[in-house]
Amino acid sequence: MQEQKRHPTIEDVARTAGVSRAAVSKVLRNAYGVSPAMKERVDAAIEHLHYRPRVAARAMRGSSFTLGIEIPDFGNHFFTRLLGGATRALVGTPYQLIIAPAEGGSQEGYRAIEALADRQVDGIVAISPLVSPEWLERLAERTPLVMLGRHDRSTGYDTVVGDDAAGARLVLDHLLGLGHRRIAHLTRSEDVTVPSSGTPHSIRLAVYLERMRAAGHENQVRVVRTGEGEEAAEAAAAELLRSEPTPTAIFAAHDELAIGALRAVDEAGLDVSVAGYDDIRIAAQPGISLTTVDQSGEEMGERAVRLLLDRIAGRTEPVHEVFAPTLVPRRSTRAPAESVTAGSPAAAAAG
Amino acid sequence: MQEQKRHPTIEDVARTAGVSRAAVSKVLRNAYGVSPAMKERVDAAIEHLHYRPRVAARAMRGSSFTLGIEIPDFGNHFFTRLLGGATRALVGTPYQLIIAPAEGGSQEGYRAIEALADRQVDGIVAISPLVSPEWLERLAERTPLVMLGRHDRSTGYDTVVGDDAAGARLVLDHLLGLGHRRIAHLTRSEDVTVPSSGTPHSIRLAVYLERMRAAGHENQVRVVRTGEGEEAAEAAAAELLRSEPTPTAIFAAHDELAIGALRAVDEAGLDVSVAGYDDIRIAAQPGISLTTVDQSGEEMGERAVRLLLDRIAGRTEPVHEVFAPTLVPRRSTRAPAESVTAGSPAAAAAG
DNA sequence: ACTCGGAATTGAACCGATTCATCGGCTCAA
DNA sequence: TTGAGCCGATGAATCGGTTCAATTCCGAGT
């Protein structure tokens, strides 16, 4: 181990300022009961020694002034939207954000959240959709907790979530309205779409099935599974496009998948509409111009942090907030080539 | 404050297992000198109580088994490439990664790094190019440190950096080779390009100036400044494209800026080549197809973490690693419309 | 039977902050 | 003059682990 200088402690500050440790502690937390004269002396000593309190020591009795946020996947840019909002919400507070990545399997969510709890954070924002509600309830008994993107309504923790049913309906109605009938749904593996598990992807899938049935296209239903990331999505979409009859539109469960699908469509040289979900920044790029659903990730992240701060301040009744999504139609979706007017084959024959 | 259950402590474990606290501690760290029988008893007690040691308490004497990484901007996807590599390098180690975002001004870099140091991390990987070497040296006396993207060669900390001079030369030679003469350089504000400050952007700028001069085009030099993010880059590029004479190519200092520039070019309806730097994932998308320089961010992130682990294990001699970049030519760069063959106006006249 | 040596185990000190009961000094009213 | 009340400041206890010197245990050697 390399030779390292010792950090100055509160004891050192107290000695150089000629006061007690307790006094220094009070100044640090600007607690009640310090004379201006003493505060000045102590501040001078702190400045002189370049003293900084150790969070680990503070955390043993007081609080760590640290909030933890767990993120499943940095590859998904929607999560960076959330992060941006969360970061913004902490400006001007004494809290520091630390992020625990959970890339890997579904078990990584537990690991990352526990890692945060072990570090005595004052509160946690988490995203993993796969951890069980019971486990979260138990966690919430010890640490204030806000979950992002969960539809369960716990009494122990708060939730901030987009209205996935409404958003998926926007997409389906948009595609059906354009005249599409052979609409495929590109989504993640079964474990994140277990029916009525309440994950966003399970809801988007359910709405897809329900809407296709309501429109009388249940025989056109086609659900394609893929792993995380656009490479996997591209491969899955490519395979889909090779099989007959090819769909005229693909509803991807989130934008990263949609980006991969666009790649496959481009590669295959077909005219297939693609819609995504999340409205990540790149979706607006002219060369991509992806139709998608905006669920204002920054605001969700910001709101989650504010709820957490409320909870730390003492609130105990749970809050469950739902954000209304909006459709952002762009060039990646258009009427199918084969039918001239929407929804009416007769019109096409007459044209 | 909401009523919260008490965490089980090492004392509780010791009591239920019928051994001493010291014994439990040894089992936790699987240190030398525990009988299999005792280990089994202790493990059972830990399991039974759902005990998890508190990192804060461990950190007071031992280590926190936490590595910190400071990231200036989540909006820049190159940094998420670095993060991906860093995360991968920690799989299978007892260390947990925590990330401190430094979004905001240049002072945020100091804040975020200090926040990590305050949290007693066992080592730090940092990216901010603007913090001073002296400050970093002082930090490195206390905490093992690896800097990403810095060209200074400190004795106190390691560095992992791409060869920015070589990378920029690849881009310039590519553009010049295609026949471009009016090449503009789109880069960040002056504070990150101070000459010989050693920041990547200062080097890319210096190479641009040097190459333009060497090719005899110093009168075509055009440096455009922009803030962070593609919106700002788009605005700056749009303004550039409105001024006469319009450049035939834009070398953007990194891909996010290039994406913004592409947007402005598309908007203006001009035929202007755009090249970037970093090879973020989206650059390969068909609709974007951005010519750029790959500096294998994942490997850099991975390498940085490995060097940090080495340092924690005891290494003291500094290591300075340089990654060789490669050019990735794509459709966003092509020969300028006005000259038929490269570099020879005479040939165009004869054609 | 007795000593010796090494491994297993323990008790107590320690890390650096916060917290709280207590104390000293000062003001002001009786 | 005395005592109540208040405020600023302090010493000691405390948080939950790790570390280390000291102690016990156990089997081998004489």
State whether B190 and B333 are in the same domain.
yes
Contact B4 A143 (CB under 8 A): yes
Set of chain B residues whose Cβ sits within 8 Å of the Cβ of A96: 100, 112, 115
Residues B202 and B333 in one domain: yes
* In a shared domain, residues A280 and A266: yes
pLDDT at A342 over 90: no
**B123 and B169 both lie in a single domain:** no
**Residue A274 resides in a domain:** yes
The minimum CA-CA distance between A64 and chain B, rounded to whole Å, is 9
Inform me whether the C-beta atom of residue B310 falls under 8 Å from chain A C-beta atoms.
Answer: no
The pair phi, psi for residue B308, each rounded to 5°, is -65, -45
What is the per-residue pLDDT for B341?
Answer: 44
Helix (H) or strand (E) holding B186: strand B183-187
Residue B244 lies in a domain: yes
Closest to B121 measured CA to CA, from B138, B135, B142: B142
Distance in Å, alpha carbon of B188 to nearest chain A alpha carbon:
20
Q: Is A52 on the interface with B (CB under 8 A)?
A: yes
- pLDDT (tens digit, 9 = 90+) per residue, A34-61? 899 999 999 999 999 999 999 999 999 9
Residue nearest to nucleotide D9 (CA to C1'): A23
Q: Is residue B75 part of a domain?
A: yes
The answer to whether position B292 is within a domain reads: yes
- Tell me the C-alpha to C-alpha distance, in Å, between residue A45 and each of A28, A31, A34, A107, B135: 12, 18, 15, 47, 20
Name the nucleotide with the smallest C1'–CA separation from B37.
Answer: C8
Is the same domain home to B265 and B194? yes
The residue of chain B with its CA nearest to that of A141 is: B4
The confidence score (pLDDT) of residue B339 equals: 52
Rounded CA–C1' distance between B106 and C15, in angstroms: 34
pLDDT at A203: 98
Under an 8 A CB cutoff, do A118 and B54 touch? yes
- The residues close to strand C, meaning Cβ under 7 A, are A 6-7, 9-11, 21-22, 24-26, 28-29, 31, 53-54, 57-58, 60-62; B 18-23, 26, 32-35, 37-38, 60-61
Nearest chain A CA: its distance from B309 CA (Å): 11
Please give chain B's pLDDT, 351 residues, in tens.
344 567 899 999 999 999 999 999 999 998 888 899 999 999 999 999 999 999 999 999 989 999 999 999 888 999 999 999 999 999 889 899 999 999 777 788 999 999 999 999 999 999 999 999 999 999 999 899 999 999 999 999 999 999 999 999 999 999 999 999 999 999 999 999 999 899 999 999 999 999 999 999 999 999 999 998 889 999 999 999 999 899 999 999 999 999 999 999 999 999 999 999 999 999 999 999 999 999 999 999 999 999 999 999 989 999 999 999 999 999 999 999 865 444 444 444 433
CATH number reported for the structural domain that contains residue B86 in this entry: 3.40.50.2300
Whether A227 has its CB under 8 Å from any CB of chain B: the answer is: no
Residue B242 CA to residue A168 CA, distance in Å, equals: 41
Cα separation, A155 vs A140, whole angstroms: 10
Residues B184, B264 within the same domain: yes
Q: Residue B188: phi, psi to the nearest 5?
A: -80, -175
Q: Do B98 and A103 touch (CB under 8 A)?
A: no
C17 C1' – A59 CA distance, angstroms? 8
What are φ and ψ of residue A179, in 5° steps?
A: 110, 5
Contacts A98 to B, Cβ<8 Å: 98-100, 115, 119
Task: Report pLDDT for A347.
Answer: 40
- The contacts of residue A271 (CB under 8 Å, 6+ apart) are A248, A336, A337
Q: When comparing pLDDT for A167 and A107, which is higher?
A: A167
Q: Is A169 inside a domain boundary? A: yes
Cα B178 to Cα A305, B187, B210, B342, distances in angstroms: 50, 22, 18, 6
Question: Which of B282, B288, B308 is most worth mutating to test chain A (most A CB atoms within 10 A of its CB)?
Answer: B282
Q: Which residues contact B237 (CB under 8 A, 6 or more apart)?
A: B186, B224, B226, B250, B260, B261, B263, B264, B265
**Chain C bases near protein Cβ (<7 Å):** 7-12, 14-21
Cβ contact B101–A100 (<8 Å): no
Mean predicted lDDT score pLDDT of chain A: 92
Search chain B and give the residue with CA nearest A88: B103
Predicted pLDDT at A107: 83
Q: What is the DSSP string of A49-105?
A: HT----HHHHHHHS---EEEEEES-TT-HHHHHHHHHHHHHTTTSS-EEEEEE--SS
Is residue B100 domain-shared with residue B239, that is, in the same domain?
Answer: no
Helix/strand/coil (H, E, C) string of A319-342?
CEEEECCEEECCCCCCCCCCCCCC
User: B237 has which bridge partners?
Assistant: none
Residue A4 has pLDDT above 70, yes or no: no
> Which pLDDT belongs to residue A244?
87
A222 and A152 co-located in one domain: no
* B93: in domain: yes
Q: Is B18 within the bounds of a domain?
A: yes
- One domain, residues A121 and A209: no
Asked if A118 reaches chain B (Cβ–Cβ under 8 Å), the answer is: yes
Do B22 and B171 lie in one domain? The reply is: no
| Boundaries of domain holding B145 | 66-162+297-323
Question: Which nucleotide shows the minimum CA-to-C1' distance to residue A29?
Answer: C18
Cβ distance of B118 and A54 shorter than 8 Å: yes
Task: Judge if A138 and A202 occupy the same domain.
Answer: no
Would you call the peptide bond into B245 cis, given omega within 30 degrees of 0 as the criterion?
Answer: yes
Q: Does residue A61 lie within any of the structural domains? A: no
Q: Which domain CATH number covers A23?
A: 1.10.260.40
Domain count, chain A: 3
Q: Say if residue B252 is in the same domain as residue B223.
A: yes
